[in-house]
Amino acid sequence: MTIKPYTPYYYRPFTLEPLGCDAVTLGHNFKHYLSYHLGRFHGCAPNYIYEALAYTVRDRLMVDWRNTWNTQLEQGTRRGHYMSLEFLIGRAMGNHLLNMGIKTAADQAMLDYSHKLEEVIEEEPDAGLGNGGLGRLAACFMDSCASLRLPVMGYGIRYEYGMFRQYIENGYQKEAADHWLQNGNPWEIERIEYAQHIQFGGHTEHYIDNNGRARARWVGTEDILAIPFDMPVSGYRNQTVNTLRLWKAAATEEFNLDEFNAGSYTEAVQAKNQAEHISMVLYPNDSSENGKELRLRQQYFLASASLKDAIRIWVKHGEFDYQRFAAENVFQMNDTHPTIAVAELMRILLDDNGVEWDEAWAITSQCMAYTNHTLLPEALEKWPVSLFERLLPRLLEIIYEINAHFLRVVSMKWPGDTDRQRRMSIIEEGPVRHVRMAWLAIVGSFSVNGVAALHSQLLRDGLFHDFYQLWPEKFNNKTNGVTPRRWVAHANPGMTALISEHIGDEWIADLSLIERLKSMVPMENKVFHANWHAVKMANKQRLAALVKSDCHVDFDPAALFDVQVKRIHEYKRQLLNVLHVVHLYLRIKHGHLDNWVNRCVLIGGKAAPGYYMAKSIIKLINSVADVVNNDPDVNGRLKLAFLPNYRVSAMEIIAPATDLSEQISTAGKEASGTGNMKFMMNGALTIGTYDGANIEIMDAVGAENFFLFGLRAEQVEVLRHDYRPWQYVEQDQDLREVIDLIRCGHFNPSEPGIFDSILDGMLSPSDPWMTLADFRGYVEAQQAVSTAWQDTEKWTQMSIMNTACSGFFSTDRTMMEYNRDIWKLTQAESA
């Protein structure tokens, strides 16, 4: 395709009249889109109903979208850029309707055309452009930035295929492609005029410019086009619409022409295909998959396109003085994934703009900020130097130079400490040399943060200790949050109405006000408590229907709903949960029914397709579920279900219906967790280890409203040196019986031995997750849960207390802290 540069022309300015948002106008507009735009009529497939409504709603975002953009540019304000390989957005319709306050009108408009809004909303595919916590966090951040009127733009990749769809066959996970764009995406706007060229391959040339200065250029490259697609990000009832800009890869015209001229049509098409591969698929691992060339291409593609775009916007609307660039721009890097941006900004300044090294470095290191999301050393990104050399030769040169400058700083501070230089070098030496992306991120950033208090502490004391000693002022904590709009107001309308009836509805825009709910905790609020309980029951019925249809298991809403949903990972210890279920099953079989409480245990989550252990755990959950759910002795006392294809829209049903939130990671391993916060806001109680943000949740709600168990992070590290798992088995008859029952094949009579590796792992003295060490503490904490559950009134009070104390865990608070300490952006005035 030919891309003409954007040419300004003279035009007569026109004003845009705001569109009517009453049910009748919405209905007319909907009919217009359905008939005249989509060419569909009564009786068409339901996805067209959704599409026509989406266009109707999008129209009503347009004026605010344009005004938000213009205001930010006119005011020449400092701008924030959130760079992330993942944005796990989920569905947009319900969220925009809520933010615009037109849900009731849309409901009526749909009814007028004999459609149910809830059913129309269900037609929207989840935008699953993320793996889990890190990707969903980026989406919650975007929501809060818009709601707080912060001038922040999100930059990501428009993957053609998002997170795979998970289904279960014979108890095993299977993956299916998620072609979420199949029916188009009515929210996005393609802006081909802002496409960027991205270079790959080639080689570098060094030359002396006209001013006699040594310069470098990157030549002989294969270029790829990055085409931006914009998604509106609406703020809550504040006429602000920010932008999430997602890049799609396409072949450049030159790229094709050479091949065409050589008469090789098929090769040309193949080249086009190759180029488009870059934005084809999201990598479905949530701990780094090392060395994959395509992944590095994706990272550079995002970083380069986004930086060039930010600079284009800045140049167009400000004065062209690079000394002011860092004062007017800040880039937040979501983990190390976009960290190549450090070297790319240097390249743009040095090679494309002739800025001198020291000045370029001052600019770069004053506008980059890095967030770390993991403590697992194996998850730290490293790229083989040889791959860099082939794909991004000029960037490798720049990284070498950054490293040389940096190592001089290290050796000035610690003369002769070669061991430290080796540890801190951005280049890891060894048989295969690697670029350490986290080190590049720290060296190139003015701010480095963890995502919960404990996590940030462990970064300073452990993984990043050398760097902390060098630059203590760079390090800070920003405890994660979740947006109360999606996770309470949208997901739990029943509870939202009940709360607002009593404390007003300002809490939706300012969650610190949810504290007012504490006044409803005391015993005398009988009616409120009954209503709270009734709302929870209705939500549990809704979840029970989902479990019935997707798992074919009957959940009784009167039972305790005990839920663990998150990625399947050994450190998250879904295994510990299963051991407890097997223990409960054995208690039923033995008739040990003292202090018994009927439970429905729900587990959901995806395993990385290449993660063998995680996949075995899914098989174990399903195998145990088969036996437990079909044993007549159990008689409804215990249910276990594995919910396939856990995703954002499933969590919107799950969180409001959960009584007990399982947050049981090995202490020191879960950086923060955010599901824990969604559950808490919706009035679930937590059973959890002293890990990640669980600690801050317990501080907020009080230990008496939290079921704490297990080793602490420092105890885990001490015990690691002399861990003897079989001792727990010897000393604990319950645990022994659980292990024996799994070992003897009770749950897998037709596939003997399939769980041996799981058992051997738990019984190994080198089990990093120390599952067996926490078994007894976990069972006891679950006993305390059962006791608490039997006092319905008390449980309700604790549930209200959890919601009332969740104010801190709003991403509005998180974003205010990022802004106060790192971004320093000006919030736009309210309209």
Q: Which helix (H) or strand (E) holds 309?
A: helix 293-317
Instruction: Identify which of 228, 230, 232, 267 has the alpha carbon closest to the alpha carbon of residue 249.
Output: 228
Cβ count within 10 A of residue 733: 9
Residue 759: Cβ-neighbour burial (10 angstroms; 0-12, 13-18, 19+): middle
What amino acid occupies position 395? L
In the complex with ligand 26Q, the residue whose CB is nearer, 99 or 480, is: 480
As a whole number of angstroms, the distance between CA 795 and CA 61 comes to 42
In the complex with ligand 26Q, the residue whose CB is nearer, 117 or 375, is: 375
- Does residue 599 belong to the site contacting ligand 26Q (CB under 6 A)? no
- Does residue 338 belong to the site contacting ligand 26Q (CB under 6 A)? no
What three-state secondary structure class fits 729?
Answer: helix
Query: Cβ 380 to ligand 26Q, closest distance in Å?
Result: 9
Tell me which of 84, 661, 672, 796 binds ligand 26Q, using CB under 6 A: 672
Please confirm, yes or no, whether 678 is among the known catalytic residues: yes
- Does residue 576 belong to the site contacting ligand 26Q (CB under 6 A)? no
* Count of positions on this chain that bind ligand 26Q (CB under 6 A): 25
Query: Cβ 795 to ligand 26Q, closest distance in Å?
Result: 27
In the complex with ligand 26Q, the residue whose CB is nearer, 282 or 638, is: 282
As a whole number of angstroms, the distance between CA 389 and CA 381 comes to 17
- Does residue 449 belong to the site contacting ligand 26Q (CB under 6 A)? no
Specify the residue for token string 């168990």.
709
Query: Cβ 751 to ligand 26Q, closest distance in Å?
Result: 31
Residue 144 half-sphere exposure toward CB, CA atoms < 13 A = 26
Beta bridge mates, 707: 687
In the complex with ligand 26Q, the residue whose CB is nearer, 374 or 810, is: 374
Query: Cβ 131 to ligand 26Q, closest distance in Å?
Result: 5
Residue 388: Cβ-neighbour burial (10 angstroms; 0-12, 13-18, 19+): buried
Query: Cβ 456 to ligand 26Q, closest distance in Å?
Result: 11
Instruction: Identify which of 709, 700, 699, 713 has the alpha carbon closest to the alpha carbon of residue 671.
Output: 713
As a whole number of angstroms, the distance between CA 327 and CA 296 comes to 29
Query: Cβ 429 to ligand 26Q, closest distance in Å?
Result: 22
Of 245, 567, 580, 587, which one is the catalytic site residue?
567
Tell me which of 80, 125, 128, 132 binds ligand 26Q, using CB under 6 A: 132
Instruction: Identify which of 313, 379, 355 has the alpha carbon closest to the alpha carbon of residue 155.
Output: 313
- Does residue 373 belong to the site contacting ligand 26Q (CB under 6 A)? yes
Contact pattern from residue 379 through residue 408 relative to ligand 26Q, giving x for each residue in contact according to CB under 6 A and a dash for the rest:
x-x---------------------------
- Does residue 143 belong to the site contacting ligand 26Q (CB under 6 A)? no
Tell me which of 451, 643, 655, 779 binds ligand 26Q, using CB under 6 A: 451
- Does residue 285 belong to the site contacting ligand 26Q (CB under 6 A)? yes
Query: Cβ 285 to ligand 26Q, closest distance in Å?
Result: 4
Contact 245, 189 (CB under 8 A): no
Of 252, 674, 771, 803, which one is the catalytic site residue?
674
Query: Cβ 334 to ligand 26Q, closest distance in Å?
Result: 9
> Helices 811-818 & 133-147, crossing angle to 10 degrees?
80
As a whole number of angstroms, the distance between CA 442 and CA 467 comes to 8
- Does residue 164 belong to the site contacting ligand 26Q (CB under 6 A)? no
* Buried/exposed code over 656-686 (b: 16+ C-beta within 10 A; e: otherwise): bbbbbbbbbbbbbbbbbbbbbbbbbbbbbbb
Q: Which helix (H) or strand (E) holds 256?
A: helix 253-261
Counting every residue written for the chain, the total comes to 831
Query: Cβ 414 to ligand 26Q, closest distance in Å?
Result: 31
In the complex with ligand 26Q, the residue whose CB is nearer, 84 or 577, is: 84
- Does residue 286 belong to the site contacting ligand 26Q (CB under 6 A)? yes
What amino acid occupies position 66? R
As a whole number of angstroms, the distance between CA 229 and CA 244 comes to 8
Query: Cβ 569 to ligand 26Q, closest distance in Å?
Result: 8
Query: Cβ 591 to ligand 26Q, closest distance in Å?
Result: 40
Q: HEC states along 666-705?
A: CCCCCCCCCHHHHHHHCCCEEEECCCCCHHHHHHHHCHHH
- Does residue 691 belong to the site contacting ligand 26Q (CB under 6 A)? no
Of 149, 455, 474, 566, which one is the catalytic site residue?
566
- The residues near 256 (Cβ < 8 Å, ≥ 6 apart) are 268, 271, 272
Specify the residue for token string 């249809």.
549
- Does residue 480 belong to the site contacting ligand 26Q (CB under 6 A)? yes
Contact pattern from residue 22 through residue 61 relative to ligand 26Q, giving x for each residue in contact according to CB under 6 A and a dash for the rest:
----------------------------------------
Residue 114 half-sphere exposure toward CB, CA atoms < 13 A = 4
Please confirm, yes or no, whether 566 is among the known catalytic residues: yes
What three-state secondary structure class fits 297?
Answer: helix
Q: CA triplet 647, 648, 652: central angle to 5 degrees? A: 115
Q: CA triplet 126, 131, 137: central angle to 5 degrees? A: 85
Query: Cβ 530 to ligand 26Q, closest distance in Å?
Result: 35
- Does residue 298 belong to the site contacting ligand 26Q (CB under 6 A)? no
In the complex with ligand 26Q, the residue whose CB is nearer, 94 or 481, is: 481
Of 79, 149, 486, 572, which one is the catalytic site residue?
572
In the complex with ligand 26Q, the residue whose CB is nearer, 140 or 804, is: 140
Tell me which of 304, 374, 531, 797 binds ligand 26Q, using CB under 6 A: 374
Residue nearest to ligand 26Q (CB): 133
Beta bridge mates, 706: none
Cβ count within 10 A of residue 530: 12
- Does residue 673 belong to the site contacting ligand 26Q (CB under 6 A)? yes
In the complex with ligand 26Q, the residue whose CB is nearer, 239 or 672, is: 672
In the complex with ligand 26Q, the residue whose CB is nearer, 314 or 611, is: 611
Query: Cβ 246 to ligand 26Q, closest distance in Å?
Result: 17
User: Which tokens hold the place of 70?
Assistant: 């213009």
In the complex with ligand 26Q, the residue whose CB is nearer, 230 or 381, is: 381
Residue 534 half-sphere exposure toward CB, CA atoms < 13 A = 9
As a whole number of angstroms, the distance between CA 561 and CA 543 comes to 10
Please confirm, yes or no, whether 572 is among the known catalytic residues: yes
- Does residue 713 belong to the site contacting ligand 26Q (CB under 6 A)? no
In the complex with ligand 26Q, the residue whose CB is nearer, 287 or 827, is: 287
Please confirm, yes or no, whether 569 is among the known catalytic residues: no
What amino acid occupies position 249? A
- Does residue 283 belong to the site contacting ligand 26Q (CB under 6 A)? yes
- Does residue 288 belong to the site contacting ligand 26Q (CB under 6 A)? yes
Cβ count within 10 A of residue 472: 9
In the complex with ligand 26Q, the residue whose CB is nearer, 379 or 581, is: 379
As a whole number of angstroms, the distance between CA 159 and CA 247 comes to 8
In the complex with ligand 26Q, the residue whose CB is nearer, 515 or 821, is: 821
Please confirm, yes or no, whether 518 is among the known catalytic residues: no
What does the DSSP 8-state code read for residue 520? G
* Buried/exposed code over 491-511 (b: 16+ C-beta within 10 A; e: otherwise): bbbbbbebbeeebeeebbbeb
Contact pattern from residue 168 through residue 207 relative to ligand 26Q, giving x for each residue in contact according to CB under 6 A and a dash for the rest:
----------------------------------------
- Does residue 725 belong to the site contacting ligand 26Q (CB under 6 A)? no
Binding site for ligand 26Q (CB under 6 A): 131-134, 137, 283, 285-289, 295, 337, 373-374, 379, 381, 451, 480, 670-674, 692
Point out the residues that are catalytic: 373, 566-567, 572, 674, 678
